[in-house]
Structure 1
Amino acid sequence: METLIIVNPRAAGGRAKQIFQEIKKDLDSFFACRRVAVAEKPEDVAKELDIAAKENISRLIVIGGDGTNHNVVNALAHRPGLKIALGFIPVGTGCDWSRALGMPRKPQQSVEWLAKAQPHPCDLGKVEYFDTRSGGKMASHFFLNIASAGISGEVDSRVNRAKRRTSLTFLRATVATLLKYKPQHVAVECDGEIFYTGKSFLLVVANGRYFGRGMWIAPHALIDDGLFDVLLIEGVSRLKILFALQSVYSGKHISRNDVRKTRARTVYVHSDDGALGLDLDGEEGKGNDLRFTLIPEAVNILLHPTLAAIKKNN
């Protein structure tokens, strides 16, 4: 199986290139037939995928964080004819998709994990919205893990402005944002039916299970069941949210009365209070009139054969 390895040298605070050098021997051992490319920007990723299509490469391994994964997934989604199995070696700040897959955090162990992994069909999400950052033009993005609207977009903005990122960066940004954020009035429809109308801190549309560096926001989400797990946190008091924050890391928040949940193939969101902050696989955005659509089995990911918990028909 021919393999393309894409390295984002800016991931992990610029350490991704060094990490690649550290695991190069392991990669050589397990993936002898390979091509290595450095790609920082979306257009770099797109160029490499076009080359992969011409060279009949059937496996892609990405060394980067959630932002790099987001760029790769969007490039793949625009090339539906490219049959390539996608794997990740997590080295970024959040690494929430790899956490959902049960991957080891150490790069050397991730290489061994991927060597045993097999292609598995995975659902993909698409969101379309009026982008206030581009003057209200329609924008669209694909996401592999989780898209959300509300406070998460403001948290992303704080994280991206941080001069130095640590294991506590997401938590600190979340608490700081909670102290100032005002819940917005939203109207949410799921599969054409009214799901919720009222003030909301956060709406989550999940294919994966984790976001915000380890927050187990959608503990029952499956990557191949043809449905989003949809969660909404109502606009309750900040004090209640702060006290409940720890429960998100254990997944116990889903039993709270102020957390609404359902499953759906399509989700539509409008806010009378204006644009909502967006988090798209860790990438920030801002917009309104959001339409989320699930695309079943749109990509193949490399998945360890022992991991049944995140798949249907366990």
Structure 2
Amino acid sequence: MDKRTLIVVNPNAGSGRAGKLWHQIEPMLWKELGELVVAITQRPEDVAEHLDKARAAGISRVIAIGGDGTNHALVNAIQSLAKADPSAPPMIFGQLPIGTGRDFSRTLNIPIDPEAAVKWITQANPKSLDLGHLTYDDTNRYFLNIASAGIGGEVDRRVNARTKRRPWTFKLATVQALLSYSPKKIKVMLDGAAWYEGKAWAVVVANGRMFGHGMKIAPNAEIDDGLFDVVLIEDTPRLSAILALNSVYSGKHLLREDVHYKQAKVVTVECQASAIGLDIDGEHAAGNHLNFSVEPGALKMLVSG
């Protein structure tokens, strides 16, 4: 097995900050990890090609330096390779997040300081973590952190429409969505049993604990327990919805009567009227018939030793 490490860099992540930070940490990575194969990507669509070439060369470790889109593309490309050749050794995935969110890195306790993050990744060990698998309409996607339907999809749509993302971009998009979004009528089933039917602001299917730049949506979630943490904010007056979402930053939203919480392995969401917006690890999509299933231990990922 080739001992080199594939580094996938998206220099545009974080409004270009990733490119600047890459030049800062590249010498450290060469020193700490040994020989590297560096792939500069401008689009998520390029990631699968880089990963295919690395696998063909016998490389089994890949580290992403970028934002949500880069990480999401790599996770999906890794799973595609695993499904195509189940007998092949698993790819080991690591991330040095330099985008605007960094939510999953908080779950893994990856330092924000670039030099400290490099030290962290060199001392990390591979561990089998759960993945979420989402099918909607005719599409299949994997997610590592969190997927949600409802207002989160509208926030994502607004954020991703901006070519430049600033620290305040997400909060501005959230405020705009709260003032304009109308809850959709949905039907939610957990592990085959009816759970909720009616209008809702959001239903969140969480593998990790945080999304939305530090919102503790699923503070009790574990990334290796084989379960989703499902959080639903029911149809409530707009002011109450604002208060509910604001309380997510402290994790106290689970104490509210208009917030529902339960764990499950399979989550089904039906939205009959029109396609409901989706947030899939920070990527926007939309669909009517959503099926979420957890795949225990599906991803080998570098975590703190």
Task: Return the TM-score normalized by structure 1.
Answer: 0.92
What are the residue-to-residue correspondences of 1:55-74 with 2, within 5 Å? 55-74=57-76
Separation (CA, whole Å) in 2 of partners of 1:106 and 1:82: 32
Separation (CA, whole Å) in 2 of partners of 1:271 and 1:6: 37
Cα 1:42–1:167 shift into 2, 3 Å: closer
The amino acid that maps onto 1:22 is: Q
Separation (CA, whole Å) in 1 of partners of 2:200 and 2:151: 9
Contact 1:267-1:293 within 8 A present in 2 as well: yes
Aligned partner of 1:293 in structure 2 is 293
Three-state SS of the structure 1 residue aligned to 2:181 is coil
Aligned partner of 1:260 in structure 2 is 260
Pick from 104, 108, 125 the counterpart of residue 118 of structure 1: 125
Aligned partner of 1:178 in structure 2 is 178
Separation (CA, whole Å) in 2 of partners of 1:91 and 1:29: 20
What are the residue-to-residue correspondences of 1:198-277 with 2, within 5 Å? 198-277=198-277
Aligned partner of 1:92 in structure 2 is 99
Is 1:129 the counterpart of 2:131? The answer is no
Aligned partner of 1:34 in structure 2 is 36
Deviation, structure 1 residue 212: 0.8
Cα offsets for 1:101-147 (capped at 9, x unmatched):
111112221111101100000111111112xxxxxxx1111111100
Separation (CA, whole Å) in 2 of partners of 1:294 and 1:43: 25
Aligned partner of 1:104 in structure 2 is 111
Aligned partner of 1:50 in structure 2 is 52
Deviation, structure 1 residue 245: 2.8
The amino acid that maps onto 2:108 is: L
Aligned partner of 1:310 in structure 2 is none
Separation (CA, whole Å) in 1 of partners of 2:163 and 2:132: 31
Contact 1:266-1:292 within 8 A present in 2 as well: yes
Separation (CA, whole Å) in 2 of partners of 1:40 and 1:78: 21
Contact 1:90-1:107 within 8 A present in 2 as well: no
Deviation, structure 1 residue 29: 1.7
Is 1:152 the counterpart of 2:159? The answer is no
When structure 1 is superposed on structure 2, of 27-36 and 178-187 the one drifting more is 27-36
Aligned partner of 2:162 in structure 1 is 162
Separation (CA, whole Å) in 2 of partners of 1:199 and 1:244: 16
Three-state SS of the structure 1 residue aligned to 2:288 is strand
The amino acid that maps onto 2:81 is: R
When structure 1 is superposed on structure 2, of 18-27 and 161-170 the one drifting more is 161-170
Separation (CA, whole Å) in 2 of partners of 1:13 and 1:46: 23
Three-state SS of the structure 1 residue aligned to 2:220 is coil
Separation (CA, whole Å) in 1 of partners of 2:232 and 2:206: 11
CA-atom RMSD, angstroms? 1.3
Cα offsets for 1:160-203 (capped at 9, x unmatched):
12353222221121111111111111100010000111110000
Three-state SS of the structure 2 residue aligned to 1:250 is coil
When structure 1 is superposed on structure 2, of 235-244 and 37-46 the one drifting more is 37-46
Runs of 4+ aligned structure 1 residues displaced above 4 Å come to: none
Separation (CA, whole Å) in 2 of partners of 1:235 and 1:199: 5
Is 1:3 the counterpart of 2:5? The answer is yes
Separation (CA, whole Å) in 2 of partners of 1:190 and 1:31: 43
Cα offsets for 1:238-277 (capped at 9, x unmatched):
1012123321111111111111111111111111332100
User: What is the aligned residue count?
Assistant: 298
Consecutive unaligned residues of structure 2, counting only runs of 5 or more, are 83-87
Contact 1:231-1:261 within 8 A present in 2 as well: yes
- Percent identical across equivalent pairs? 48
Separation (CA, whole Å) in 1 of partners of 2:125 and 2:271: 42
Consecutive unaligned residues of structure 1, counting only runs of 5 or more, are 131-137, 306-314
Aligned partner of 1:189 in structure 2 is 189
Pick from 12, 22, 25 the counterpart of residue 24 of structure 2: 22
Separation (CA, whole Å) in 2 of partners of 1:194 and 1:230: 14
Separation (CA, whole Å) in 2 of partners of 1:163 and 1:117: 34
